[in-house]
Homo-oligomer: A and B are copies of this chain.
Amino acid sequence: MKKLKRSARLVEMTQYLLARPHTLISLTAFADRYQSAKSSISEDLAIIKEVFEGEGIGDLHTLAGAAGGVRFIPRCDKAMALEKIKEMCRQLEQPDRLLPGGYLYMTDLLGQPALLQEAGQMFATAFADREIDAIMTVETKGIPLAYATSLFLNVPVVIVRRDHKVTEGSVVSINYVSGSTKRIQTMSLARRGLREQSRVLIIDDFMKAGGTIQGMIDLLHEFRAVVAGVGVFVESGEIDNEERLLHDYVSLARLTEVDLKTRHITVQPGNFFKEEQ
């Protein structure tokens, strides 16, 4: 790369760091890339750090010493995030979202790139300090959320299928019981989809009793992998605590009330915001 002026270097470093979250970049690498002294690079990083932290973009962790460097950890500002989630809850409360069976139509929201980016950043914040090798979700609606989260955590996504596909090679399948409908279902994952011993973050769009997520946890056992965390976009609050199969999870929103007669829906911020409320 040709030598840049400080102003141009700041622009370049900003985009470089944003594109490489959770990646250690050595000061030497930056100094070589920009043909600049490490002291100048350090000053640039101090400026970027202040803006990123002030604007709710994330932290820059700097490691001193010979092996020193910098790591960008995306992290949202909880107060800003709460405002965004409240706006999303208002959208989810629109009466025409109510579908037969008490389900909520939210496919449109899960297709909007800006909203997905925000949700991904929130999950990445919730699990920023966990050691994570991969993100797992089950088709279909959780996929964009899982992918948005993967961009901020910089780990691959693994998609569990509800059927066997010829293009996956040999698969591991398990049966599981959906907690709310009590039906037996099948899910499968390609044998080569996940390395053994992986630490896996599970992401899904909706959780009622948690049967589907419990199924994914059982599938992880088959790969001798472990759960590093569970994140759901919306949890249903209409489940008794005894009925719930899963208790350790992060939710961004909580469906607290659905009245099929009056079509009144109440959605509130999830347990990710517990301390803010």
Contacts and interface: CB of A to CB of B under 8 A. Distances in A.
Given A147-B113, A156-B113, A105 B8 contact: no
Interface stretch (A12-20, A243-251, A253-261): A12-20
Interface string A64-104: 00000000000000000000000000000000000111011
Contacts of A151: 113, 117
Contact of A155 (B51, B113, B193): B113
Contact of A51 (B11, B18, B111, B193): B11
Interface stretch (A24-32, A137-145, A217-225, A262-270): A137-145
A192 B113 contact: no
Given A103-B166, A111-B150, 16 more contacts: A4-B51, A10-B10, A15-B52, A101-B166, A105-B190, A105-B192, A107-B167, A111-B156, A113-B150, A113-B154, A139-B139, A139-B140, A143-B147, A144-B144, A144-B147, A167-B206
State the majority secondary structure of interface residues on A: helix
A12 B14 CA distance: 9
A233 to B, nearest CB: 13
Nearest to A140: B139
Which residue of A11, A52, A111 has the most chain B CB atoms within 10 A of its CB atom?
A11
Nearest to A205: B167
A256 B144 CA distance: 31
Contacts of A114: 154
A200 interface: no
A13 to B, nearest CB: 8
Contact of A148 (B18, B52, B147, B193): B147
Interface string A108-121: 10011110110000
B167 A8 contact: no
Contacts of A196: none
A245 B52 CA distance: 49
Contacts of A100: 166
A200 B139 CA distance: 23
Contacts of A101: 166
Contacts of A18: 15, 18
Contacts of A117: 19, 151
Contact of A108 (B6, B103, B192): B192
A47 B51 CA distance: 18
A33 B55 CA distance: 13
Nearest to A153: B113
Nearest to A105: B169
